[in-house]
Amino acid sequence: MEYRNRLVLAPMVRVGTLSFRLLAAQYGADITYGEEIIDHKLIKCDRRLNERIGSVDFVEKGTRNVVFRTCHEEKNRVVFQMGTSDAVRALTAAQIVKRVSKLFDVLETGEIAMLLCPKFSATISEHLWIQSENECGTELNVHSSGCKDVAAIDINMGCPKSFSISGGMGAGLLTRPELIHDILKTLKRNLDIPVTCKIRLLKSSQETVELAQRIEKTGVSALGVHGRRVADRPRDPAKWNEIANIVSALSIPVVANGDVFEYDDFQRIKVATGASSVMVARGALWNASVFSPEGKVPSEDVKVEYIRKSILWDNDIKSTKHTLKEMIMHHSCLELPEGKAVIKSETLADLAKLYGEEKYYESVRGNQLGCSKEVDD
């Protein structure tokens, strides 16, 4: 994955699901982070191919709870962000979203395989490099190049929430450089996709620079920096000057994050910090078309497009409502009719009706009825 000159959707809890990531990409985001998933939770998941909607789902064992959902369309730009405080557990979780499917485990490198089904052969060729051994093509030499569901793995080292810090995750890692080194080196040694992390500022600029330099030595592909300290609140201005200090001390790409609300801000923060790329959170949440060089589209249009993607990818209703409420609160308030109707909605069908997308909902659901199969992988 290329980390220079990229517009990046930041990880956002309860927001960064597949539907919102695809929305941001539609408007111009080059890299899209998923919401943070705790390693403990992912380890308890099974990988399933959801043929009904065409997604790859990581489902909590013994339940129907989808912990992480992705699809082929985003596999070269989606970053899986993980919450962890243990190197071995982090690797175990990472290998679940970055591995060769069990379907292909029986095909060892160089093994001759008899592929009798053309459809099966086409499926395998998406994941493996296949060299024909004879003219008819029935006997093949299969070289595993590995298949992946995500483009990169990122470790969350910036979340200031008490849940993360008390568990030694998120910003709780910032004062444990040895553990940071252990986690990142373990992932780098064992994965063949980019590994990155995202941090916040420490108490002094010099401390942050020193930590960033230690992180760079682990071999990570890039470093994300939120220009606020753990105690800072969103209303506190991001310290772009301290991000600049980090950029000048490193040779790897730095992704700057903080106070990007308009398209012009992407260039402003790049000039001010020298960062390779720029990440945006609230600016994208309030209007995902912030990524468009043509300028923002009306927020009403963005909400409708988000509803359509939530319907298409069967987004969790709680996540969908949470994201819509955040959009509404920035431009209006939840006490007005739209906000009250969103709060009252219990299903995606209710939201489709509220935003005039009943026909789209019926069309999508009708098409999906014939493909309701889930396949354990």
Q: Model confidence over 104-147: pLDDT tens digits?
A: 333 333 332 333 233 333 333 333 332 333 333 333 333 333 45
Distance CA 286, CA 275 (A): 24
C-alpha triplet 169, 173, 176: angle, nearest 5°: 140
pTM for the complete prediction? 0.86
First to last CA, the chain: 26
Given a cut of 70, whether residue 59 has pLDDT beyond it is yes
Catalytic residues: 159
The rounded percent of the chain whose pLDDT value lies above 90 is 81
Query: Across all residues in the chain, what is the average pLDDT?
Result: 88
| Cβ–Cβ < 8 Å for 45, 63 | no
Q: Model confidence over 143-186: pLDDT tens digits?
A: 333 458 999 999 999 998 888 888 899 999 999 999 999 999 99
Residue with the larger pLDDT of the pair 26 and 124: 26
Q: What is the pLDDT of residue 375?
A: 63
Q: What is the pLDDT of residue 374?
A: 60
Q: Model confidence over 234-276: pLDDT tens digits?
A: 999 999 999 999 999 999 999 999 999 999 999 999 999 999 9
Q: Model confidence over 204-236: pLDDT tens digits?
A: 999 999 999 999 999 999 999 999 999 999 999
* Mean pLDDT, residues 347-355 taken together: 98
* Mean pLDDT, residues 342-360 taken together: 98
DSSP three-state, residue 165: helix
Query: Residues 6 or more apart from 129 whose CB is under 8 A from it?
Result: 142, 143, 144, 145
Residue with the larger pLDDT of the pair 24 and 100: 24
